Amino acid sequence: MLTTCTTPLPALSPPALWQMLALVADPIRFFARQQQRYGDTFSAQVLGWRSPPVIFTGDPEFVQAIFTAPAEQFALGKVTQVFQPLTGDRSLIALDGAEHQRQRRLLMPPLHGDRLRTYGETIAAITAEVAATLPSDRPFTIRQPLADITLQIILRVVFGLTAGSRYDQLRVRIGRLLESITDPLYSSLFFFPPLQQDWGSWSPWGHFRRRMAAIDALIYAEIAARRLGDAYRDRADILSLLLAARDEQGEAMSDRELRDQLVTLLLLGHETTASSLAWALYWIHSQPEVLSQLRAELAGSGETEALTQLPYLNAVCQETLRLYPIALIAQPRVVQLPFGWGDRQFAPGTILVACIYLAHQRAATFAQPQQFQPQRFLDRKFSACEFFPFGGGSRSCIGAAFALYEMKLILATLLQASQLYLAPQAPIRPVRRGITIVPSGGLQMKIAVNR
């Protein structure tokens, strides 16, 4: 018995296989239906009938209990192992306990506080460069240029690369690999380990391994070049800061750790931000009053740093992340030590999921939750258990501050560089793409005026 309580949790009734398929096929519909039927907390058999049930919750009090529990209370379980062929086993997302905390402490400083300011000009310059290449004579899919912007930002700001052969090679190779892994057929390789057979470069897994090895060779070459003669000193990029970082025992990160963290930041920091931006552009351009309020605010502010402080721009980003959060759930937590909440006791092995989508759709917290209303973020402050697009607690997103900073600057630069509008297209729906929820069809836009 994994859960004991005086009031049992509502449990989904259909067979386990149906529950699993319904969640994979259309996760938003799945959560919306269950929330309507069972409320903010329910138990579902989405991992199969032999596996423990998964408890999803959007109830702020339950979420708070999960996020504020000590780190050793939970482990991550097998979910993130899916990414290990890409990220490696020294990646932040593969670690638990003290090792996880150590890596987090090393990674946090370059992604927070005053450090962000040193990346502002680069972010704005990359965005302006890509904006200048948008076609003015025909509709285009905005997802692609957005993904290019966020990938270039990672390569320059995180890896510290500048224009040149290694930069060009990584940009092309990583762009292609990340594009492939969001393809449902290609991504099934990661979910079904028996398919991971290297039968040469023509076999799917063999092909993946060779592509990854070529990228790794470029990353290790960059690390070696940077170590040579301490070339990382006096540089502001994240790789250089990590090369200089020491933990409490004075230990530096190994090449392997550096490689795994860089690939993790790339994997989790690129598509997520690009997809959030696609949603932001959709909402802004589907509501003329939002667009004009935003334009009015931007018109009064020219300087890069000032843009990141604008209240309405901030509210637009928050509301975008609320309505269709890119990640619908925080990472599932597997109970390690008996865990209690209210009159419920969860035994080791129970899987608890703080569900971002359920919390963001609570009418008790957000009136008319299906409507895009940035104003709500100006009228009220929401707690970290009511609004948490970046998860929470000891495993919260380490790129949260960086992502928001990036989103604001990219949006402001795009809106200042050109006048975009939505091209005629089928109604936009949220669809799953890899691990993120994106606007269907990649969002077709047109340029009215290039400034």
Q: Which is nearer to ligand HEM, 310 or 400 (CB)?
A: 400
Which of 303, 260, 307 shows the shortest CA–CA distance to 93?
A: 260
* Piece of 27-35, 220-228, 286-294, 321-329 that binds ligand HEM (CB under 6 A): 321-329
88 binds ligand HEM (CB under 6 A): no
Token pair for 180: 């492939």
Token pair for 147: 């993904």
**Among 30, 341, 402, 405, contact with ligand HEM (rule: CB under 6 A):** 402
330 binds ligand HEM (CB under 6 A): yes
Cβ-contact 267, 83 below 8 angstroms:
yes
Residues 163, 234: Cα–Cα separation, whole Å: 19
Q: Which is nearer to ligand HEM, 181 or 447 (CB)?
A: 181
* Piece of 171-179, 281-289, 397-405, 437-445 that binds ligand HEM (CB under 6 A): 397-405
Q: Which is nearer to ligand HEM, 16 or 401 (CB)?
A: 401
442 binds ligand HEM (CB under 6 A): no
Query: Nearest distance from residue 126's CB to ligand HEM, in Å?
Result: 14
395 binds ligand HEM (CB under 6 A): yes
User: Taking CB under 6 A as the rule, which mask of x and - marks residues 17-36 in contact with ligand HEM?
Assistant: --------------------
**Which helix (H) or strand (E) is 299 found in, with range?**
helix 288-299
389 binds ligand HEM (CB under 6 A): yes
Across the strands, what pairs with 355?
329
Q: Is 395 exposed, middle or buried (0-12, 13-18, 19+ CB in 10 A)?
A: buried
Query: Nearest distance from residue 8's CB to ligand HEM, in Å?
Result: 26
392 binds ligand HEM (CB under 6 A): yes
Give the number of residues in contact with ligand HEM, rule: CB under 6 A: 27
Q: Is 441 exposed, middle or buried (0-12, 13-18, 19+ CB in 10 A)?
A: middle
Residues 247-306 that bind ligand HEM (CB under 6 A): 264-265, 268-269, 272-273, 276
SS3 of 154-220: HHHHHCCCCCCHHHHHHHHHHHHHHHHHCCHHHHHHHHCHHHCCCCCCCCHHHHHHHHHHHHHHHHH
Contact residues: ligand HEM, CB under 6 A: 92-93, 104, 264-265, 268-269, 272-273, 276, 321, 326-327, 330-331, 389-393, 395-399, 402-403
